[in-house]
Structure 1
Amino acid sequence: MAKGKKKSSESKGRKITLKMAKNALKLTVDGKRRLDLSNMEITTFPKCILKLCDVDELDLSRNMLKKIPDIIDSFVNLRWLDLHSNQLEQLPEAIGRLPKLHSLNLCNNLLTTYGIPYELGLLRNLRSLNLGMNRIETLPPSLAALKELRHLGLFNNLLMGVPQWLHSLPNLQTLNVKSNPICSDEPQKLDPIRRVECLYLVREGCLCSECLQKCKEERGKVDSRISKGLVQRRSILAGLITPNSVAQDDKAVCR
């Protein structure tokens, strides 16, 4: 019975209290208040943080959240929201009621096209949107209204093509569509847009078996290149004549 209770308690995840949340408040270099609850094994959105809804930045990344409630629109001052590396399948419509939001990170979740609400296009001040490492097959047309968008991450999804309206976003500077099954015969018109890659640190437990295997293979390749470089460097150094050896030869000649 005791073991059963322990297992049930673990499935509920870590409970965040208001005191814990207050201790997690930080001040950014530009004087903004950030509530950092990342990597704390949270499975449900902690309602106690509504007491701190005046923060400028909210970090709930690297947890086990499956749902973001509609009360997210209480954080009216949010300019930065990080939800990467959770288990989100759908976003609430209330996400579009964050008028000051500049950056939204949704990377490494379980989002599909149907999980992205139309209201996301109402974030008219949004400059950075990361939707990489999800299950998105097509982009919702409402995203065409994000005229202030500068950076868009769509890497590692299921996109078969890039919509034409994406090229019409007036301020888009960087676009990452790497690792998508985009048709090769589709004309690419992304030359003016610089493609970039992003790096995210996640726990091995957050990765599926396939992704974990790929990471191990890539790590093995890097280790192999490093070891080869060290061998080559040692062989070069071994062939060099040291200053001491030259001095000894000169001394022998003088004798």
Structure 2
Amino acid sequence: MAPAKRLDVPVQDLSLIRGIWEVRVKRHRQKQKKEQERMENSALIRIDQQWQYRIYCKSLKTKDLQRHLDPPTPCTGPPQDDLTVQTDSDRLIFRLEGDRWMDFPRELQWMTYLQEWCVRGTRIQQLPDVLSLFTQLTVLDIPKNAIRELPPDVGRLGELRWLNASYNRLRSVPPELGSCEKLQKLELAGNRSLSELPFELSSLKQLLHLDLAENSFVSIPVCALRMTNLQLLDLSANGLTDLPQDMDRLENLSTLFIHRNNLSYLPMCLPHIPSLKVVVVSGDLLTSIPTKLCSNPDIKFIRLYDKPISEDRRRRKEEGRRWRVQREEVQDSSDKEFMEAYLSSLQDRDTIPCSTTKVSFSCRL
């Protein structure tokens, strides 16, 4: 009987094999990322889009074709049409207004050269799927629409500087927005159901202006405390009951709006913010205020007092809000305009009044 043949089986450390494959996977992902960046920066895509746009224009009638092919002219007054493409200081701006719009126009997909969107007062509920193609977009101004969510593709707008999605129907913000590292101004006011921000927004180190007014926040988002260059923070008209004791981490903060909340005290760290210039609070519920905050001549400390109303009127007011959503949005915008005008009037004053009562007027015709 022939002897059995011996087989030498190599035995390797499993951790060593795993490490080898992890290195290979990492290199493969890096290669894919470089290829994707190369394709995004390639002129071939833009050339293809331009030719597709020309083909689309050939299918239009003569009148419509003239409107799309003529170079846009600067406009000093309001546009005559609710859909225009304008140049303003050598910037290409897309404007869309009017409640007859329920979706973006089809021809927008060929206008990837645009640098600004200004879409207001429409019934549009979602942004187009081609949003990621607008790599040159620096301003996305889309307030007072019916937008329910921001797509993850918004994180691919690497040149974005200003995002205004106020007075829509947002319930959340995508974590991918944290990839827009050049973002300087973020406005999310008036989205009633918005109550938190993803931690990934902590990477927005260049953000200077954060507006979260008229939402459902019960505390300051953690990511906001990590935005080290933040200069203006608006958390008015939320459900805040206290402020964190480490707010002095925002060393560049100059303006803080926290009125129309449920705050009964202010943290002792507020006067320690070296750049703080303006603090606006509601004085009705406040019982504890740092002495340094009131006595510091460099800080304009403004306490707003609302006229007290009866419980019956308060209940009727809450019930009426359910049926006057659009009217409430207009009123909230007026409140913000009032605060801007009021603060502007204080810039030239050496002193400010110890308290201010805001008075509303109405007349019936």
TM-score under structure 1 length normalisation = 0.67
Q: 2:227 matched to 1:89?
A: no
Confirm or deny that 1:159 pairs with 2:217.
Answer: yes
> What SS does the aligned partner of 1:195 have?
strand
What is the CA distance between 1:54 and its match in structure 2?
A: 0.2
Matched with 1:252 is: none
Determine helix, strand or coil for the equivalent of 2:130: helix
State the shift of 1:141 in Å. Answer: 0.9
What secondary structure is seen at the aligned counterpart in 2 of 1:48?
helix
Distance in 2 separating the partners of 1:66 and 1:19 = 30
The aligned counterpart of 1:147 is: 205
Rounded to whole Å, the distance in 2 between the matches of 1:58 and 1:107 is 14
Q: 1:221: how far off?
A: 4.2
Instruction: Return the alpha-carbon distance in structure 1 between the equivalents of residues 98 and 229 of structure 2.
Output: 33
User: Percent of pairs identical after alignment?
Assistant: 24
What pairs up with 1:54-65 in 2 under 5 angstroms? 54-65=113-124
- Cα distance in 1 for partners of 2:66, 2:94 equals 12
> Aligned letter for 1:27?
T
Shift of 1:195: 2.7
Contact persistence 1:21–1:49 (CA under 8 A) = no
Indicate how the Cα distance of structure 1 residues 36 and 185 shifts in structure 2: closer, same or farther if over 3 A, else same.
closer
Residue aligning to 1:41: 100
Q: What is the rounded CA distance, in whole Å, between the counterparts of 2:221 and 2:98 in structure 1? A: 35
Structure 1 185/60 Cα, relative in aligned 2: closer, same or farther at 3 Å? Answer: closer
More RCO (CA 8 Å, sep 6+): 1
The amino acid that maps onto 2:185 is S
- The answer as to 2:174 corresponding to 1:124 is no
Amino acid at match of 2:124: L
Corresponding position of 1:184: 242
Deviation at 1:189, TM superposition (A): 2.7
- Kindly tell me: are residues 172 and 138 of structure 1, through their superposed partners in 2, closer, same or farther at Cα, counting changes over 3 Å? same
Q: 1:221 to 1:145 in 2, by over 3 A?
A: same
Please give the residue correspondences for 1:77-116 in structure 2 after superposition, counting only pairs within 5 Å: 77-113=136-172, 116=173
Any conservation in 2 of the 1:132–1:157 contact (CA below 8 Å)? Answer: yes
| Partner in structure 2 of residue 209 of structure 1 | 324
Distance 2:119 2:105 in 1: 10
Aligned match of 1:26 in 59, 63, 86?
A: 86
Note the residue ranges of structure 1 that are not aligned, 5 or more in a row.
Answer: 1-16, 198-206, 225-255
Question: Of 255, 261, 264, which aligns to 1:194?
Answer: 255
CA 1:187–1:73: 2 relative to 1, 3 Å: same
> Which runs of 4 or more aligned residues in structure 1 lie more than 4 Å from their structure 2 counterparts after TM superposition?
17-23, 185-188, 218-221
Q: Is the 8 A contact 1:21 1:37 kept in 2?
A: no
SS of the residue aligned with 1:68? coil
Q: 1:44 to 1:213 in 2, by over 3 A?
A: closer
Following TM superposition, by how much is the alpha carbon of 1:47 offset from its aligned partner in structure 2, in angstroms?
Answer: 2.5
Structure 2: distance between partners of 1:185 and 1:81 = 31
Task: Write the distance in 2 (CA, Å) between the matches of 1:167 and 1:38.
Answer: 35
Give the TM-score normalised by the residue count of structure 2: 0.48
Alpha-carbon offset, residue 196 of structure 1: 5.6
- 8 Å contact kept, 2:101–2:124: yes
- CA deviation after TM superposition for structure 1 residue 85, in Å: 0.6
Equivalent pair of 2:148/2:168 in contact (CA under 8 Å): yes
* Distance in 2 (alpha carbons) for counterparts of 1:213 and 1:120: 28
Deviation string, structure 1 residues 4-49 (Cα, Å, up to 9, x no partner): xxxxxxxxxxxxx787677711111x32111111235311122311
- Structure 2 residue aligned with 1:136: 194
2-structure distance, mates of 1:102, 1:33? 15
* 1:81 and 1:103 in contact (8 A); partners too: yes
Letter in 2 for 1:57: E
Mean CA deviation greater in 63-72 or 102-111:
63-72
Q: What root-mean-square deviation, in Å, do the aligned CA atoms of Structure 1 and Structure 2 show?
A: 3.1
The residue that corresponds to 1:241 in the other structure is: none
Report the counterpart of residue 203 of structure 1 in structure 2.
none
Gaps spanning 5+ residues in structure 2: where?
1-63, 73-83, 259-321, 339-357
State the Cα distance separating 1:59 from its structure 2 match.
1.1
